[in-house]
Each structure stands twice: as C-alpha cells, then as structure tokens.
Structure 1
Amino acid sequence: ASTVFFAYLGFDVIASSAAEVKNPKRSMPAGILGTLSITTVLYIAVAAVLTGMVKYTKLDVGNPVSYAMQLAHQDWFAGIIALGALIGMFTMILSTTFSSSRLIYSIGRDGLLPASLSKLDEKTHTPKVALYAVTVVIALTSGFVSLDQLANLVNIGTLVAFTVVSLGVIPLRRRKDIDNSKGFKVPFYPVLPIVSVVLCLIMLSQLSLETWVASGIWFLIGLIIYFSYGIKHSKLSGNK
C-alpha cells in the first residue's frame, strides 16, 4: 500500500500554488478533491481492464499496461502507451519542480533558509533562485539514486508530512487567536484527521528499513541546517 501511495501523489502540488490563485478558498478544495476523484476512477478502471486481460501475477513488471497490450498482440497500442508514459514523466517533473520551488521560497521567506531563495524575478515574479536550486537537486538525485529508492523516499517524506499536518489540524481548529472562519474547514473533525494519521502510520510501517535509514539521514541533514542556520535567522521566532 505504501508503494501504491506514490501513484496518488501530486494533488498537494495544487496547495503549493495557493498564493498564485485568485480565489484559493473555492479553487483549492475543488482542485484537490476533483483531482483525487478523477485519478482514483481512472486507476480503478485501468486496473480492472488489465486484470481482465492478463492474470494479475504477470503484471509485476515496470510497464504493466504496455506489457498487457503486447500479450494481446497490440504492439502499436503498446508503443502509444509507452510514449504517453514518457510524456507524463515530463509533466510530473514540471509539477514537482513547481511545487518544490514554492516550498523552498516560502521557507526562505520565513528565514529558515538563505534569503536569496526567497527572491522573485522582476519580470516573471517567480522564485528563480529556488527554481534553480530545486532543479539541480532533482537532477543530481535522479542521476545517482534508483527509481525505486526515490519513490520510497518520496513516499516516506510525504507520509510523514501528511501525518504532521493531520495532527496539526486538531489543535489549530481549537485555537481562539486564529480566525478560522474564512478558510477551508476539514470536514468530520476530529474523526477525519485521526483516521488520516492512523492510515499514514500503517503505510509508514510497511516501508523497508533501508528507506527509513535513508530518510533518517535526510531528516538529520535538515535538522543540522535548522539548528545551524534556520533557528538563528527565523522571522517566525521574532529574530531577524
């Protein structure tokens, strides 16, 4: 389940663009829920068709859709699917770069990373330095880390983030010093956040020890950056 979770990533990219949307209160929930609904229906439909064409035990390959078409002697269609998958990778890279650069920009703006990462280009009004930094990191990691390891690292990072967000929703809703009337409210509070935390923890428990070790190293690097730089320059704590 933790590996399949990777297929449903990407909807969080929509939340990263909230500052660039005219009406985020209406557009963000609609975009996220709409994306999840369409993706889920399509994945289930494709899985149903594939298991109807080929026995599921034979689909444990890197390109199950193309492989199923090849077994059905539809080589031309398998080629089209492979081309579509290649094009889809480019869109995934673009969306990941977009969301990651906005995240780095926000962290730099808060002073937790160098201020240069929070600078906007005068013409395009985009975080150009953050875009360059994210692109370099993505290029290096994709060149030296296998796809399976990358997917698992992305999964564990995202699951940990979702767990923290779900836990954070519970006390934030009860705080009186924050005006929660204008933003989007999580439905079925507090049941839904608790269920989200439990499901995330279940999927985290299914990841390999190697993934936990690699993730631990990344978290350690992040802590070093925070305690050596971020905590001294943080604007949130009232320092600089």
Structure 2
Amino acid sequence: MSNKIFRVKPINQLLQDGEGGKSLNKVLGSFELTMLGVGAIIGTGIFVLTGVAAANYSGPALILSFIISGLACAFAGLCYAEFAAMVPVAGSAYTYGYAALGEIWAWIIGWDLILEYAVAIAAVAIGWSGYIVNLLSSIGINLPKQLINAPGVNGGVINLPAILIIAVITGLLIIGVKESTTVNNIMVGIKLIVVLLFIILGVTHIKPANWTPFMPYGWKGVFQGASIIFFAYIGFDAVSTAAEEVKNPQKDLPRGIILSLIICTILYIVVSAILTGMVPYIQFKETSAPVAFALQQIGINWGSALVSVGAVCGITSVLLVMMFGQTRVFFAMSRDGLLPKVFGEVHSKFRTPVKSTVLVGIVTALMAGFTPIGIVAELTNIGTLAAFMIVSAAVIVLRKKRPDLKRSFKCPMVPAVPIMAILFCGYLIYSLPRITQYRFIAWLAIGLVVYFIYGIKHSTIEKYENAVENEEVS
C-alpha cells in the first residue's frame, strides 16, 4: 500500500498525456497568460477586500499586508514557474505534486484545489451579483429580494444573477479557450483603465492625517490582514493550469506568472495607499465596495459609478479564470483515473473538457444560488496556501531526486526561495481563524476517504507501470 500511494508519475508520461487526441488546444502566448493572471488577481481584491482588511485588521498598514502577501506569492510563483516550464500539462500544482512527491500528495493538492476554486467561484459570483443589483438599482431597476439572495438572507429564495453569470461563463469556456481569453482581455483592459482612473482621481485627495495611526491593530493585525487579502492573489495559480494550452510553455509560462504578479502587486500597494489616505480606515466598515465608496466620500459620484462598472468587468474576469482553473484541475485528475474518466474527455470540435466544465458549472451555480458563502470563502485562502507550500517543497525534492532534468526556467536560490515560500505561507495559514483550519482538515479527511475507496483503484499509473515492466521483460 505505501509503495502505491507514494508512486510518482514520470515526467515523460505526463508530457505524453498532453499530446495527441486527449490533449487541449495550444493557442495561448505570454500576453494571454499575463492577462489571465491579471484577470484573476485584479478584481475582488481591489474592489471588495481592501475595505474589509483595512477596517478590521490592518488599518493604513494595509500596504504592508499586501507586501507580505505579495512576497509569499513571489517566492511560490518562482517555484510554480520552474514546474510550469518543465511539465507544461494541465493540472498545475496537482501535476507538479504527482511528478515530484507521489500520488497521495498529488491527490491532496488536487482535492485541495477543487475546494479552493469551487468556493472562490461561488463567492465571486455572489459578489458579482451584489454589484449588478446595485448598478441596476442606481438606474431605477429594483429586482425582487427573493431573486437576489440565498435562502435565509434578507428574505431570499435564490440568487438568480449569480447562477446566470456562472451559466454564461460555463458556455464561454465550452466554446473554446481562445474565445474565453479574448473576452478576458477586453474585461481586463476595462478594469485596468478604471483602476488607473481611481489612482489619478484619488492621489490629489490624500490627507496624510488619515494614515495615523498607521498600524492600529499592531503586527498581528497586519499578518491577519495579509492572510485575508491573500484571496486577492490566488489568480497566478490559474495561469499554470493553462500550461497544456500554451504554444511555447518553456518561455511563456514563467513570463506570464511573474509579470502578472509584478503588475498586480504594484497596483495593490498603490491603490491601498491612496484608499486609506482618502478616507479614514474605520469608515470602510460601512461598505463592501470600498473604491466606489471612497470616491463618493470626496464627491466624485460619476467616478464612483464608473468604478462600479469596472468592478463588474473585473469580477467577471476573475470568475472566468477561476472556472477555467477549476475545470483544468478536474480534467487532469480525471485523465489520471483518480476521478471518473468521463470528466477527462476532450470534445472533438471545441478541444475543451466539456463534461468537467458542465459539472463545475452546475455545482458552483448551486453553491452561489442557494448558499450564503460568508466565512467559508476563507477556505479558498487556506487551500491555496497549502498548495503553494507543497509545490515549493516539491521543487526542493525534485532538484535532489532528478538533477538531470532539463529546466528551461530555474527557480533562483534553491532551497532558500522555496523554504521562504513555505515559511511565509505557513505563517499565513496560522494567522487564519481556527474554524477555517478545522474545516480544511475535515475536507482533507473526506478527500482521503474518497482516494482510498475510488482513486487508488482506478489510477492509470498502474497501467503505465505494467506496460513498462512488460517492455523490460520482452
């Protein structure tokens, strides 16, 4: 049993899986990948979480929280870039774990990513619904409460806008990745213009007095704030899930991951500095739309309305990239037999994993339509942080076990950089609420039961090992 659960999948076999009839369509370059990363990273973080973190955890020291989260992601991103260039197939951290640490660790990461993306998709769809409802209300269209809230929330029966946007994104992802990234590029362009507009308008209304006290909740608050706003950074993981659809993965994947991280970290730091300088941090307790709120407070209502439009575009692109990532992880696990094989099939015309896309769409639509997400969104953070730690450890292990492998991009200063990623991410996990940690442990326990009942028996790696043994005998 122990030999089975720790068996690794050879990289040449992983590369073979990414070729032929079961492979995905290779249409992406470094620009599309960077835009995918920016599409997932710039959205909920700037338009929603900045206010939550500033008011309840960091105060004006939100800048430091973003720097800490950015450093954790930078260290982990360099580890991801090494693997993404070396193993350019679908699955991201799940695939890297399979190549370096063994099947049980791959399963843990994959199961972890399923939770991460599903909860994120539902939470972001609910946020999108809130912005759309507010925008419609501002032009005199008031939707019935029963149709815009989950059961038990303000007299709600179903959150219909959240379900509808997931249905639209599901259809777009089925049609093809090229079409999806074109839509994403347009939405990213709009939201970047809006973010830059906010910076231009807000920078002249900064009152340095609003930055005092700078660290009202101390260093503990700064790190707690970092663990909460980490949700804002998880998009670069989705860049690596696109590996199998990249034309020149050895060069384009590292560029896409690193560029998207640099662009977004700079924007986050600048926006958080301006935001807390415009309005006293404590006032952000009153709103879930801090950027639009800040412009309202200084009397620029037209700018506030424009930011709301940009936020809708921003959150839509986050939703698109999150759903893209979820379907690719599910597809990779199904292709390996750890989940039912039917979800690992590729459509003959669209060259997309249609069945896994439909499944993800249905499950997340039900979650978004009927579940008040609330604190469960923190599960996204802990799942991502755990995946980052395992990928960072995998870089160290594979450098020791397979120094001979060709690495077109090398993470610098190994093992120092991976160790820093593990330490940063580990401390951010420690900073999350205990209830979130317990829920995560429960989810992993359920996953291990599923693996030992189904996954270990249906894994395709055994067929590969048997074929190799037969070749050696003959």
TM-score, length basis structure 2: 0.48
5+ residue gaps, structure 2: 1-225, 467-474
Q: Please state how far the C-alpha of 1:141 moved relative to its aligned partner.
A: 2.4
Which residue among 237, 241, 247 is the counterpart of 1:22?
A: 247
Which residue is equivalent to 2:341? 115
| CA separation of 1:64 and 1:183: change in aligned 2, threshold 3 A | same
Q: Please state how far the C-alpha of 1:79 moved relative to its aligned partner.
A: 1.3
Q: Is the 8 A contact 1:3 1:151 kept in 2?
A: no
Query: How far apart in 1 are the matches of 2:393 and 2:407?
Result: 21
Q: Which region of structure 1 is more displaced relative to structure 2, 149-158 or 21-30?
A: 149-158
Q: Root-mean-square deviation (CA), in Å?
A: 1.7
Query: How far apart in 1 are the matches of 2:277 and 2:382?
Result: 32
Which residue is equivalent to 1:213? 438
- Mapped pair 1:4 → 2:233: no
Query: How far apart in 2 are the matches of 1:139 and 1:149?
Result: 18
Task: Considering Cα pairs closer than 8 Å and 6+ residues apart, tell me whether 1 or 2 has the greater RCO.
Answer: 2
Query: How far apart in 2 are the matches of 1:183 and 1:172?
Result: 15
The CA deviation string for residues 48-79 of structure 1, in whole angstroms up to 9 with x for no partner, is 21122112222344211111111101112111
- Mapped pair 1:226 → 2:451: yes
The CA deviation string for residues 3-24 of structure 1, in whole angstroms up to 9 with x for no partner, is 1111111011110111111111
Q: Please state how far the C-alpha of 1:147 moved relative to its aligned partner.
A: 4.3
Which residue among 33, 36, 47 is the counterpart of 2:258?
A: 33
- Mapped pair 1:50 → 2:275: yes
- Mapped pair 1:90 → 2:293: no
Query: How far apart in 2 are the matches of 1:179 and 1:106?
Result: 26
Query: How far apart in 2 are the matches of 1:142 and 1:187?
Result: 41
* Secondary structure, aligned partner of 1:171: helix
The CA deviation string for residues 32-55 of structure 1, in whole angstroms up to 9 with x for no partner, is 110001001111111121122112
| CA separation of 1:146 and 1:198: change in aligned 2, threshold 3 A | farther
Which residue among 334, 352, 360 is the counterpart of 1:126?
A: 352
* Secondary structure, aligned partner of 2:346: coil
- Mapped pair 1:167 → 2:167: no
Which residue is equivalent to 2:420? 195
Q: Please state how far the C-alpha of 1:138 moved relative to its aligned partner.
A: 1.6
Query: How far apart in 2 are the matches of 1:218 and 1:140?
Result: 19
Aligned AA for 2:393? Answer: L
- Structure having the higher helix fraction is 2
* Secondary structure, aligned partner of 2:235: coil
Aligned AA for 2:369? Answer: G
Which residue is equivalent to 1:151? 377
* Secondary structure, aligned partner of 1:138: helix
| CA separation of 1:18 and 1:179: change in aligned 2, threshold 3 A | farther
Q: Is the 8 A contact 2:251 2:408 kept in 1?
A: no
Q: Which region of structure 1 is more displaced relative to structure 2, 73-82 or 106-115?
A: 73-82
Which residue among 299, 304, 320 is the counterpart of 1:73?
A: 299
Query: How far apart in 1 are the matches of 2:253 and 2:264?
Result: 16
Q: Is the 8 A contact 1:112 1:231 kept in 2?
A: yes
- Dislocated runs of 4+, deviation >6 Å: none
Q: Please state how far the C-alpha of 1:144 moved relative to its aligned partner.
A: 4.1
* Secondary structure, aligned partner of 1:113: coil
* Secondary structure, aligned partner of 1:98: helix
Q: Please state how far the C-alpha of 1:236 moved relative to its aligned partner.
A: 2.3
Q: Which region of structure 1 is more displaced relative to structure 2, 167-176 or 101-110?
A: 167-176
The CA deviation string for residues 156-212 of structure 1, in whole angstroms up to 9 with x for no partner, is 110111111111111111113x74224432111000000000001100001112212
Task: Compare CA radii of gyration and give the structure with the larger one.
Answer: 2
Q: How many residues in Structure 1 have an aligned counterpart in Structure 2?
A: 239
Query: How far apart in 1 are the matches of 2:367 and 2:404?
Result: 41
Query: How far apart in 1 are the matches of 2:274 and 2:365?
Result: 35
Q: Is the 8 A contact 2:291 2:307 kept in 1?
A: yes
Q: Is the 8 A contact 2:327 2:360 kept in 1?
A: yes
Query: How far apart in 2 are the matches of 1:105 and 1:230?
Result: 14
5+ residue gaps, structure 1: none
Q: Which region of structure 1 is more displaced relative to structure 2, 81-90 or 210-219?
A: 210-219
* Secondary structure, aligned partner of 2:299: coil
